[in-house]
A and B are shown apart, each in its own frame.
Chain A
Amino acid sequence: MEGRGSAVKTPASRIVKRRSKSYGRSCVEPPSQFWYTPGQLTIVRIPTSREAAKSRNITEKVDPEKVALLVKNEWKLSHVTPLYRFRHTQLKQYSRHLSAFIMAEKQQGVAVEVGPETTFKVTFSTVLGLAETEEDAETVFIQIHSKPMFAAAGDVPKVVWSGWLTCVNGDPEYLRSLPPDFVSLPLFCTNGPEALTTLVKSWLERTFDCNCRSLILNSTILNWLAVLWTGCHPTTDIRYLKLDWTLPTDPSLDISYRLSPQDVWELWNSIHQEDSADDTVSLEEVNRFMTGLESHFFRHFRIYLSAGTLMKVSTSLGSAHHNGKIKIACSNYIPTVLTLLTECAILRMPI
């Protein structure tokens, strides 16, 4: 699987150039001192506009089997700091290491070894074609298969855990500012038992000297998703837009706000000015859209939704939860959603 195509993407030795605008610090020092942080708050550059979601048939670029794997599951998101000395060419070796690591961890604390009950087999593979720009590293897909010790000969190993590390349209300035030997795959999506996730994360942390933390989707990201999905309505029927809020009353009040697609589309169409040149959506328009929905709710129920927290956004194209769980149901919008999430993960990087 890890052929020549993926090898090209591995930055063997990149010449690092410092741009005038810095990421996080107003600094003049060369990037070799990247670890040096003056005692200043991280300044996150929050993008105020982004491209509207475009429907694209990504199966032309990406292996449809891989796309099917990404689409069918619900993923728990984490963000990962850049991986040190990660090579797309050594995926076979990583598979062996991770299997051995999981087996070793499973046997820990067992006084008398009676032989493992199940064997785990790990496969690493690349998902070519998801990366959008030159700077993006190719997506890496990890699967853990398990096979009972006394399984019948014909039994196919079952996939018990899967996860992928990705970077789609990552901020080029940030990616270029990384020292050589680092590969940035900031978004880590996992699906499977929590115990295995913890093991894989600790293996990643040990092997590539990185740090994995779970990613929380704040209301801005959820608002963006709601708007981007609403904007898809003319091309793909979104069927509904459902927003879940939790209000901090005692006991807490959960509100589920389900809107018909035609109504939200009309509201969005009245707010969004379509430029013929580049179809971009600005943050201001997003805020006005959400304020419109909230004031409509207030008029009927006398409840300020903004006094609570937006927990979940869902349409038939996918859903996203505040605690970092996401489901992408329609493969045509994978790049749009991943771009947004990659950016969210990069904003979380400690600098």
Chain B
Amino acid sequence: MALLTPFNKMPELNTANILLVENEEQFQTKLADVIVNYEKQINVNVRLARKLPLPIENADTRPRIDLVVFIVNLIYERSLQAMESSIKHLDSGFFVGKVCFLVTGARCGSVSHERLLSVRKLAASLHCPMLCAEDQTTEGVRAAALRLLSIVKVSAGLVPTATALYLSALTRCTLPAELDQD
């Protein structure tokens, strides 16, 4: 099993690499466009994947990944299942602030509550932040892109005085005690 590792490659100057993993491949392209077009100060490379592990063939040419974003569409159970199987292919070095969950469809009345709860539980157990995003409107996509950009800048080491671990300690998902008990 080829693990994706965060520290086995040298970083490039003024560059941040973000990997968006989504089973449905709908939201990630919209998000990638906004991220690339918005940031002018630094080079942000967005890489897209449907699932992990990534193919071995171009492992050498792939840059160092600074942030892995798992996009979960709560409307489809499969999205959650695919994310759960993908996450096993990440090196533990990523879980110090280089992984983030992005959930869409959480406000949709027809989705079952358990899915959001299980993503929250997973994020809390892995000490990762969980962001909720709106994927239907351009405003929502833009807001999500900006939030990811600010995280990736920190995890790529481009923000002085802040580190990925420090940021994740502040933003990681926590569960209220009431939900934790069962």
Q: Which residues of B contact A44 (CB under 8 A)?
A: 113
Minimal beta-carbon separation of A292 from chain B (angstroms): 14
List which B141-182 residues lie within 8 A (CB) of chain A. Answer: 176-179, 182
Minimal beta-carbon separation of A211 from chain B (angstroms): 14
List which B98-149 residues lie within 8 A (CB) of chain A. Answer: 109-114, 117
Q: Which residue of A lies closest to B110 (CB)?
A: A216
**Contact at A216–B109, with CB atoms within 8 Å?**
yes
Minimal beta-carbon separation of A345 from chain B (angstroms): 12
Tell me the bound Cα distance from A321 to B81 in angstroms: 24
**Contact at B179–A307, with CB atoms within 8 Å?**
no
Minimal beta-carbon separation of A167 from chain B (angstroms): 20
Q: How many residues does chain B have at the interface if contact means C-beta atoms less than 8 Å apart?
A: 20
Once A216-B109, A219-B112 are accepted as A-B contacts, the answer to whether A309 and B179 lie under 8 Å apart by CB is: no
**Contact at B178–A219, with CB atoms within 8 Å?**
no
Minimal beta-carbon separation of B51 from chain A (angstroms): 12
What secondary structure prevails in chain A residues at the interface with B?
loop
Tell me the bound Cα distance from A248 to B78 in angstroms: 12
> How many pairs of A and B residues are in contact by the CB < 8 Å rule?
48
Q: Which residues of B contact A304 (CB under 8 A)?
A: 78
**Contact at B113–A220, with CB atoms within 8 Å?**
yes
Q: Which residues of A contact B113 (CB under 8 A)?
A: 44, 46, 218, 220, 347
Tell me the bound Cα distance from A219 to B115 in angstroms: 10
Minimal beta-carbon separation of A287 from chain B (angstroms): 9
Q: Which residues of A contact B33 (CB under 8 A)?
A: none
Q: Does B96 lie at the interface of the complex (its beta carbon under 8 Å from any beta carbon of A)?
A: no
Once A218-B111, A347-B113 are accepted as A-B contacts, the answer to whether A43 and B179 lie under 8 Å apart by CB is: yes
Once A218-B110, A322-B110 are accepted as A-B contacts, the answer to whether A306 and B81 lie under 8 Å apart by CB is: yes
Q: Which residues of A contact B49 (CB under 8 A)?
A: none
Q: Does B75 lie at the interface of the complex (its beta carbon under 8 Å from any beta carbon of A)?
A: yes
Q: Does A192 lie at the interface of the complex (its beta carbon under 8 Å from any beta carbon of B)?
A: no
List which A35-54 residues lie within 8 A (CB) of chain B. Answer: 43-46, 48
**Contact at B114–A306, with CB atoms within 8 Å?**
no
Tell me the bound Cα distance from A221 to B112 in angstroms: 8
Q: Does B38 lie at the interface of the complex (its beta carbon under 8 Å from any beta carbon of A)?
A: no
User: CB-CB contacts of A20-60 with B at 8 A, as 1s and 0s?
Assistant: 01000010000000000000000111101000000000000
Tell me the bound Cα distance from A139 to B112 in angstroms: 27
**Contact at A308–B176, with CB atoms within 8 Å?**
no
Q: Does A283 lie at the interface of the complex (its beta carbon under 8 Å from any beta carbon of B)?
A: yes
Tell me the bound Cα distance from A1 to B45 in angstroms: 72
Once A26-B176, A43-B179 are accepted as A-B contacts, the answer to whether A219 and B117 lie under 8 Å apart by CB is: no
Minimal beta-carbon separation of A284 from chain B (angstroms): 11
Q: Which residues of A contact B114 (CB under 8 A)?
A: 46, 220, 283
Q: Which residues of B contact A347 (CB under 8 A)?
A: 113
**Contact at A307–B76, with CB atoms within 8 Å?**
yes
Minimal beta-carbon separation of B29 from chain A (angstroms): 15
Once A43-B178, A45-B178, A218-B111 are accepted as A-B contacts, the answer to whether A307 and B78 lie under 8 Å apart by CB is: yes
**Contact at B76–A220, with CB atoms within 8 Å?**
no
Q: Does B39 lie at the interface of the complex (its beta carbon under 8 Å from any beta carbon of A)?
A: no
**Contact at B176–A218, with CB atoms within 8 Å?**
no
Minimal beta-carbon separation of A224 from chain B (angstroms): 10
Minimal beta-carbon separation of B119 from chain A (angstroms): 14
Q: Which residue of A lies closest to B182 (CB)?
A: A48
Tell me the bound Cα distance from A44 to B113 in angstroms: 8
Q: Which residues of A contact B12 (CB under 8 A)?
A: none
Residues of chain A touching chain B, judged by Cβ–Cβ distance below 8 Å, are 21, 26, 43-46, 48, 216, 218-221, 248, 283, 304, 306-309, 322, 347-348
Residues of chain B touching chain A, judged by Cβ–Cβ distance below 8 Å, are 23-24, 75-79, 81, 109-114, 117, 176-179, 182
CB<8 Å pairs between A and B, sample of 14: A21-B178, A43-B176, A43-B178, A43-B179, A46-B117, A216-B110, A218-B110, A220-B112, A220-B114, A306-B78, A307-B23, A307-B77, A307-B78, A322-B110
